[in-house]
Amino acid sequence: MRGAILVGGTTSDAGKSLVVAGLCRSLARRGVSVAPFKAQNMSNNSVVTADGGEIGRAQGMQAQACGLEPSTRFNPVLLKPGSDRRSAVVVRGRPDGWIGAADYHERRAALAAVVQDELSALRADFDVVVCEGAGSVAEINLRDTDIANMGLAQAADIGVLLVGDIDRGGVLAHLLGTMAALSDDDQRRVAGFVVNKFRGARSILQPGLDTLAERTGRPILGVLPYLDDLWLDAEDSLSSPIGRPVGPSTPSVGRDRLSVAAIRLPRLSNSTDLEALACEPGVDVRWVDDIASVTTADLAVLPGTRATVDDLAWVRSRGLDDALRERARARRPIIGICGGYQMLGETIVDGVESRRAGGGARVVDGLGILDLTVRFEAEKTVRPVTGTWGDHRVQGYEIHHGRVVDNGHRPLLTDDEHGPEGSVGDAVWGTHWHGLLANDAARRALLVEVATAAERADFRVAPDTDVEAARVSQLDRLADAVDEHLDTAAVEAIITDGPPATASVVRTTVAPSPT
């Protein structure tokens, strides 16, 4: 089997990333040489490749599903929103300036060549490439310069599997309406539909599926079940809403539990850092934005952010600065990660973020919880890292402009190449490392310290929590669902042969108004 397919969606968060991961895992388990590909991603959840490049977190997860290391080849264009109007552009893993919506509309034509070159190279190196679309395939206002959806399918001459999310409601209308919004040529690329996140009686849904197939001339190639325990490596911002727990609530080993308040910053990045904590039995992690939650939790976490200074101003506007300082005075546990770590310091010398907004360099007061001075440098640090945390070997990755130029605390850990890293105060821990909490033994040791500081005397860490094994287990569950509920033979035919040459076109009609 050789070829490629595009998994497109009717909406954002329809489940494209997970369908791609499941399909990749299914193929890889059968010995097929397969790679993922997303031409253009927009996400602040990213992962660092071995050569110091940066790609979307979902493509890192999909690479693991294929049995591959993350590579910039799998996501050649990454947009990282820094505000509502401007995004950082990462091309082939490297920073490539900032753009606004209007600028990017013009710039996409130049990026199309990058995307097509990378996809062609992958198709030469792998038997199958499973591509993921971006947002909705029916963003017709962007069609002229589209490089990720139907534009990619046309340029690469591949078929499209269209995914809709039934859990949101209206999936039949989404699928039919998406088809009707596409041009005739684009419609002919769509070879079949997948209904995702289904948790009802198939017999009730079936008449609607039959009508959809009749109206569109396209088969329904699968109805995938809602898998409520799939939560690791969440990418979309919709996966981190205020008040929602991160992961399932699992029984504690001891009689006490730990509550974790993860502050949901407006420009939150690499929110997956919190997932490792949520893997622990008896640890309840929740996204919050209110004083009461930050005050009462056993542990408060300031996570990473794409815009440290702007999100620090937001923290102050919500009154969370006082809540965090009161926690620190009472020696109640706080963890700061990357941008959140920078906020905890005394001073931020900002010569980067302020200039993006059209201003000059400025000095910003931090929260004053840690004795730090942070300076933003124009050159961005992007690198995988290894080191030692106490008695434990650890690994992670860094993505940041900030440098700690003055640190009045003992370091949290020792980086193998760059020496002391992070800070340890009185029940306050800070680090620039992402992925640090996914190191099982070190995370357990930290939670013991947190439980002691939080006076949870009967909290016990589980001896066998394995974040990596949990991630692999979820990939296998995705593949199991694909194998059981997707017409894999039909999908493989689309991969090798493309869409049927006789694919029909959906026409829309408007009923006359009653008179």
- Summarised one tens digit per residue, pLDDT across range 301-346 is 999 998 999 999 999 999 999 999 999 999 999 999 999 999 999 9
Domain boundaries, the chain: 3-219+487-497, 237-469
- Annotated catalytic residue within 400, 409, 432, 434: 434
Strand pairing report for 258-263 and 283-288:
parallel
For domain 3-219+487-497, the question of CATH label 3.10.450.50 is answered with no
Active site residue 409: no
**At residue 270, does pLDDT exceed 70?**
yes
pLDDT at 511: 47
Q: Residues 6 or more apart from 144 whose CB is under 8 A from it?
A: none
DSSP secondary structure of 405-438: EEE-SB-SEEETTTEEESEE-SSEEEES-BSGGG
pLDDT at 356: 59
- Structure tokens that stand for 375 in this block: 């300076």
How far apart, in whole angstroms, are the C-alpha atoms of residue 385 and residue 416? Answer: 8
- Structure tokens that stand for 345 in this block: 């310091």
**At residue 509, does pLDDT exceed 80?**
no
Q: Over pLDDT 70: what percentage of the chain?
A: 94
How far apart, in whole angstroms, are the C-alpha atoms of residue 330 and residue 375? Answer: 28
Active site residue 338: yes
Query: Of 278-287, 490-499, 504-513, which gets the smallest average pLDDT?
Result: 504-513
Within 264-353, strands assigned E span: 268-269, 283-288, 299-302, 304-305, 334-337, 347-350
pLDDT at 358: 56
How far apart, in whole angstroms, are the C-alpha atoms of residue 130 and residue 12? Answer: 18
Q: Which CATH class name applies to 237-469?
A: alpha beta
- Annotated catalytic residue within 24, 279, 338, 401: 338
Q: What is the mean pLDDT of the chain?
A: 91
pLDDT at 515: 46
Q: Do domains 3-219+487-497 and 237-469 have the same CATH topology?
A: yes
**At residue 234, does pLDDT exceed 70?**
no
